[in-house]
Amino acid sequence: MAFELTVGDLDDLVRGAALLGTGGGGDPQIGRTLVAEALGETGTITVLDPDDLGPGDFVIPPALMGAPSVLVERLPRGSEPVDALRALESFAGRTATATMPIESGGINSTIPLFVAARTGMPVVDADGMGRAFPELQMETFAVYGVTGSPLAIADERGHTAIICTGGDNKKMETWARALTIRMGGVGYIAEYGMDGDTVRRTAIPRTLSLALLLGRTIRAARESHRDPVAALSEALASTLYERGEVIFTGKVVDVDRRTVDGFTRGTARIADFGAGSHCVIDFQNEYLIARVDGVTRVLVPDLITMLHLETGEPITAESLRFGQRVRVFAISTPAMMRTPEALAVFGPAAFGLAEGFVPFERLATRAGESHV
Amino acid sequence: MAFELTVGDLDDLVRGAALLGTGGGGDPQIGRTLVAEALGETGTITVLDPDDLGPGDFVIPPALMGAPSVLVERLPRGSEPVDALRALESFAGRTATATMPIESGGINSTIPLFVAARTGMPVVDADGMGRAFPELQMETFAVYGVTGSPLAIADERGHTAIICTGGDNKKMETWARALTIRMGGVGYIAEYGMDGDTVRRTAIPRTLSLALLLGRTIRAARESHRDPVAALSEALASTLYERGEVIFTGKVVDVDRRTVDGFTRGTARIADFGAGSHCVIDFQNEYLIARVDGVTRVLVPDLITMLHLETGEPITAESLRFGQRVRVFAISTPAMMRTPEALAVFGPAAFGLAEGFVPFERLATRAGESHV
């Protein structure tokens, strides 16, 4: 069912989106600020349920592309994602009736909200990753047959490019990434334009309201002095994601982070409080694999999130720092993201990992115990 | 006046184009082969004089973009430049009535001939550089106010991108270069679409027939055992280029060449036959500056060409080899390429050289003598 989003919802929404962003997606506060400014005190955004869409709808998802680490020093001017969406409309010869996130993650959950606030367009409660991923072909849209291009990309001067790579969504990613790098590390894109029936068939449904639910859950637990992770596990049980579980608790002892080819890559190491165990997490914008004492415990596309030990606040790979006390919280992905065709696009092998995907709940059973 | 170009003209044309290419522009034989195949035994291409064009004409110049060194190992499939031109037509909503080179140089003199042979379109006897340059904003079109974008770029799979950078032709170059690199080092572009009046106002006229004249002159001199450079100087005297002169004669003793950021960059050193003098030439695809014993003798945009000592055949920077016996032959650029606004775009400073432009005929006077 459709609902109205207000400025009062934004803190919870970006907190939940940061959680689903699984370490990537950039500083959630940047997105929050953008949307709040566009909404003003009294504005609202209409959020449509995917079931509200029909074949006559044309949905264009906009997004920020680039290394989140660059964005911190390079705030958007404001109209970039609208410029990209308009350029795509003009090229496609078709006007968008709604917008939608391509992913759930700090800033890319908010870019469509910003476009909606600016244009009055509704936003669809769904996305193409059900979490965040670093590359544009890693979309359930692509997995289930949607062509990503034509893609429009805009810079902060309103200059644009259109990329047409037919069914080759990986090449679309490669070309757009090259332009993003030349734009100084950040570009704004619009891609995967599709009708309403296709949204219902290929998107992960209701992930904006999920982000809102998870963000509220963390806040409410904190306010009532409950354990946030227990509350999160409970909230997830009634969603497509089903399971959430702490796999490690400890202190960040090392973060190796660098910007390579337009991505933020690196490794984080967490030591537990005494037993001598270590959790090592590799990331490419997002957390990809978590190993405890050399044993794999969570693998992409399952979600690896890092929560501040006391507050339950999600911590992105960008803001991980030595000495932070954290819990590593794993979330299982929806079934449509664990099919063979989905794993071919965003499973471990797509990130150069040697291990075949095993759902984290089965890895937990193998490991025999969990480090709560 | 319009004339018909046949397969029999191609050897002379590519020889003259290689000379005007001033070291860049790629292997002229690749372009010759492409056009000859498209023409067949009996085909002809209509070459229009710029004065034949009217305001109703729409001229689209296509070109190869990238490092010539890559092209040697990566022959075009054939339809790429036509794909780029068609993508630009489609985006602009306007059909081209003619095509035209963007530059005079080995392969880019022939790409529009190939498009003309494939499509039946006439080609205009003019271009936007009057020689070859390494970057897309270095066009007399740009100098005299034409907007380069929208630019279309195509790869060997028929995938395309459109770049719209408004009046920022340098950004257009930067973005197209980024895509070219991702395409494996070579892309095919169409840009600077313009009407007939604009061609007459901004292009260097009659450079295709000039290439043909220079190529024929070298061949005829060789066949009649005359000195090719004397014949070239004579032929140039009746053109916009006016002067051609040998500034050094010797043997190639060192070539330092590398592919950097999509360009072929380097330095060549030539030693004379005994007196102990050296000529050192820096290049970025094209020869940019020639110094003799540390004294600057020719500066971009004046043309520096390298001719095989016996045959007068032009030698590209790509095919320079240790031991080749050569003459360094300088050609003065047309007056419209030596204006302050032209020098701001493709004078020495545009290539990071510290020296201000001085016409080579004045540098020769300063040097006091020429090493013929």
Q: What is the pLDDT of residues A10-32, one digit of tens each?
A: 999 999 999 999 998 877 788 89
- Average per-residue pLDDT in chain B? 93
Q: A369 CA to chain B: closest CA distance, Å? A: 47
Query: What is the strand order of the sheet A3-6 is part of?
Result: A3-6, A44-48, A123-124, A98-99, A58-60, A194-195
Whether residues B261 and B355 fall in one domain = yes
Total domain count, chain B: 2
Residue that finishes a domain, picked among B185, B205, B225: B205
Give the integer Cα–Cα distance in Å for B290 and B279: 7
Q: B367 CA to chain A: closest CA distance, Å? A: 43
What are the chain B neighbours of A161 within 8 Å (beta carbons)?
161-164, 175
A371 pLDDT above the threshold of 60: no
DSSP E strands: which ranges in chain B?
3-6, 44-48, 58-60, 62-66, 98-99, 123-124, 126-127, 151-154, 160-164, 186-190, 194-195, 204-205, 244-260, 263-271, 278-284, 286-292, 295-299, 303-308, 325-331
Per-residue pLDDT tens over the stretch A271-321: 999 889 999 999 998 999 999 999 999 999 999 999 999 999 999 998 899
In a 13 Å sphere around the CA of B172, the CA atoms on its Cβ side amount to 27
Whether residues B77 and B193 fall in one domain = yes
Which residues have CB under 8 Å from B73's CB, separation 6+? none
Q: Is B92 exposed, middle or buried (0-12, 13-18, 19+ CB in 10 A)?
A: middle
Residue A60 lies in a domain: yes
Residue A310, φ and ψ in degrees, nearest 5: -85, -45
| Best to test chain A binding among B155, B156, B179 (most A CBs inside 10 Å) | B179
Give the integer Cα–Cα distance in Å for A207 and A111: 14
Give the integer Cα–Cα distance in Å for A252 and A321: 7
Residue B117 lies in a domain: yes
Per-residue pLDDT tens over the stretch A316-341: 998 899 999 999 999 999 999 999 99
B211 pLDDT above the threshold of 90: yes
Q: Is B182 in contact with A164 (Cβ distance < 8 A)?
A: no
Partner-chain residue, chosen from B157, B162, B168, that has the shortest CB–CB distance to A162:
B162
pLDDT score recorded for residue A246: 96
Which residues have CB under 8 Å from A12's CB, separation 6+? A212, A215, A216, A219
pLDDT grade, residue B78 (50/70/90)?
confident
Question: What's the predicted TM-score (pTM) here?
Answer: 0.91
- Is A181 in contact with A238 (CB distance < 8 Å)? no
Amino acid (1-letter code) at residue B111? I
Whether residues B184 and B333 fall in one domain = no
pLDDT score recorded for residue B208: 97
Whether residues B356 and B267 fall in one domain = yes
Per-residue pLDDT tens over the stretch B339-349: 999 999 999 99
Whether residues A165 and A272 fall in one domain = no
Residue B17 lies in a domain: yes
DSSP A154-202: E-TTS-EEEEE-TT-HHHHHHHHHHHHHHTTSEEEEE---EEHHHHHHH
Give the integer Cα–Cα distance in Å for B209 and B230: 20
pLDDT score recorded for residue B263: 78
A321 close to B (CB below 8 A)? no
- Is B107 in contact with B68 (CB distance < 8 Å)? yes
A166 close to B (CB below 8 A)? yes
Give the integer Cα–Cα distance in Å for A149 and A139: 13
Interface of A with B in 168-187 (CB under 8 A): 168, 171, 174-175, 177-179, 181-182
Q: Which domain holds residue A312?
A: 232-367
Per-residue pLDDT tens over the stretch A115-167: 999 999 999 999 999 999 999 999 999 999 999 999 999 999 999 999 999 99
A163 close to B (CB below 8 A)? yes
B144 close to A (CB below 8 A)? no
Token couple for A94: 């078709």
- Average per-residue pLDDT in chain A? 93
CATH code, domain with A104:
3.40.1610.10
User: Among all residues of chain A, which has the CA nearest to that of B167?
Assistant: A159
Whether residues B182 and B246 fall in one domain = no
pLDDT score recorded for residue A69: 63
Partner-chain residue, chosen from A91, A164, A179, that has the shortest CB–CB distance to B175:
A179
Residue A212 lies in a domain: no
Whether residues A270 and A189 fall in one domain = no
pLDDT score recorded for residue B71: 65
Per-residue pLDDT tens over the stretch A96-121: 999 999 999 878 999 999 999 999 99
pLDDT score recorded for residue B31: 86
Residue B74 lies in a domain: yes
Q: B140 CA to chain A: closest CA distance, Å? A: 23
A255 close to B (CB below 8 A)? no
B274 pLDDT above the threshold of 90: no
Considering only residues A176 and B275, tell me which one the structure prediction assigns the higher pLDDT.
A176
Partner-chain residue, chosen from A159, A161, A177, that has the shortest CB–CB distance to B166:
A159
Whether residues B333 and B189 fall in one domain = no
Which residues have CB under 8 Å from B234's CB, separation 6+? B217
Residue B282 lies in a domain: yes
CATH code, domain with A332:
2.40.390.10
Q: Is A179 in contact with B181 (Cβ distance < 8 A)?
A: no
Nearest in space to B371 (alpha carbons), one of B196, B246, B266, B255: B246
- Is A285 in contact with A277 (CB distance < 8 Å)? no
A370 pLDDT above the threshold of 50: no
Nearest in space to B120 (alpha carbons), one of B150, B85, B154, B161: B85
Residue A224 lies in a domain: no
Is the four-CA dihedral B349, B350, B353, B356 of positive or negative sign?
negative
Whether residues B11 and B97 fall in one domain = yes
Whether residues A112 and A15 fall in one domain = yes
Q: Is A159 in contact with B171 (Cβ distance < 8 A)?
A: yes
- Is A48 in contact with A124 (CB distance < 8 Å)? yes
Which residue shows structure tokens 């958007």? A76
pLDDT grade, residue B371 (50/70/90)?
very low
- Is B195 in contact with B59 (CB distance < 8 Å)? yes
Q: Is B157 in contact with A174 (Cβ distance < 8 A)?
A: no
Considering only residues A358 and B69, tell me which one the structure prediction assigns the higher pLDDT.
A358
A147 close to B (CB below 8 A)? no
Per-residue pLDDT tens over the stretch B128-160: 999 999 999 999 999 999 999 999 999 999 999
State the helix-helix crossing angle for A207-223 and A228-236, rounded to 10 degrees.
150
pLDDT score recorded for residue A326: 98
pLDDT score recorded for residue A364: 78
Residue that finishes a domain, picked among A205, A223, A251: A205
Average of pLDDT values for B329-335? 97
Amino acid (1-letter code) at residue B270? I
Per-residue pLDDT tens over the stretch B89-100: 999 999 999 999
pLDDT score recorded for residue B306: 97
Whether residues B163 and B273 fall in one domain = no
How many cross-chain Cβ pairs, A to B, lie less than 8 Å apart? 51
Residue A211 lies in a domain: no
What are the chain B neighbours of A175 within 8 Å (beta carbons)?
161, 179, 182
A71 pLDDT above the threshold of 70: no
Partner-chain residue, chosen from A161, A168, A181, that has the shortest CB–CB distance to B163:
A161
User: What is the separation, in whole angstroms, between the first and last Cα of chain A?
Assistant: 37
Whether residues A124 and A20 fall in one domain = yes
Give the integer Cα–Cα distance in Å for A260 and A254: 19
- Is B164 in contact with A160 (CB distance < 8 Å)? yes
Q: A182 CA to chain B: closest CA distance, Å? A: 7
Residue that finishes a domain, picked among B189, B205, B221: B205
